[in-house]
Structure 1
Amino acid sequence: MTIQTARLSDPAVRAFVTAVNAHDREGFMQILAPGATMADDGSDRDLAEWIEQEIFSTHGHMEVDNESRGGRALLARYSNDTWGEMRTRWIFTVADDGRIARFETEQA
């Protein structure tokens, strides 16, 4: 059963998912802390390159099925024009200022 984005527990994670699904690059960048980092399948990636290839140029979309760790860990169906749909796990680290300092994603 999908969790409505508006009902996600953590405000930063809710803003992240909202920006991804709206293809709102500006909103997405605003929710990231300065120097934010990310990893995909256990490997650190160039953040700007990854979000361009995996989210914005390929119409990325998240359907969240489950959340844990106070809303900072998600199980979601992620789809984009490159890979189609896959089950993914997302883990977020939120900085003291309420922005996302790091996110990690992998196939679930």
Structure 2
Amino acid sequence: MPAHPADPAVAAFVTAVNTGDKNAFFAALTDDATMSDDGTDRDLAAWADSEIFSSNGRMDIEGTSPDGRTLTATYTNSTWGSMRTRWTFTVTDGRISRFETGQA
């Protein structure tokens, strides 16, 4: 059985990624949200378009931390294929203000 994030903002993020819903994805984030990929800060909008929305990104959650803000997932898109990844989220006032992802 796949794990589900306990944090509602993270759960909304995962659902938005898996349904390809760009509006819901950005609604889960604060207006000034930031992110990094493999330790390098990226332009969030450009990264999301390239790595999620134009390449059919999908997260299959393998496990979550008790607070639901750290995930291990198999991430798959049409550019890179599948890889095991780790995602860490900072949630501020019910929305994600930062996330960090990279290979696990």
- 1:19 and 1:87, CA in 2 relative to 1: closer, same or farther beyond 3 A? same
1:85 aligned onto 2:85: no
Structure 1: which 5+ runs fail to align?
A: none
Paired position in structure 1 for 2:2: 2
What is the percent sequence identity of the aligned residues? Answer: 59
Structure 2: which 5+ runs fail to align?
A: none
Alignment: residue pair count: 104
Structure 1 or 2: larger helix share? 1
Aligned-pair CA distance for 1:11: 0.2
Q: Deviations over 1:42-99 (max 9, x none)?
A: 000000100000000000000000001510000000000000000000000001x200
Paired position in structure 2 for 1:73: 70
1:57 aligned onto 2:74: no
Amino acid aligned to 1:70:
D
Aligned mate of 2:36, from 35, 39, 55: 39
Poorly superposed stretches of 4+, deviation over 4 Å: none
Superposition TM-score, scaled by structure 2 size: 0.97
Amino acid aligned to 2:2:
T
Superposition TM-score, scaled by structure 1 size: 0.93
CA RMSD of aligned residues (A): 0.9
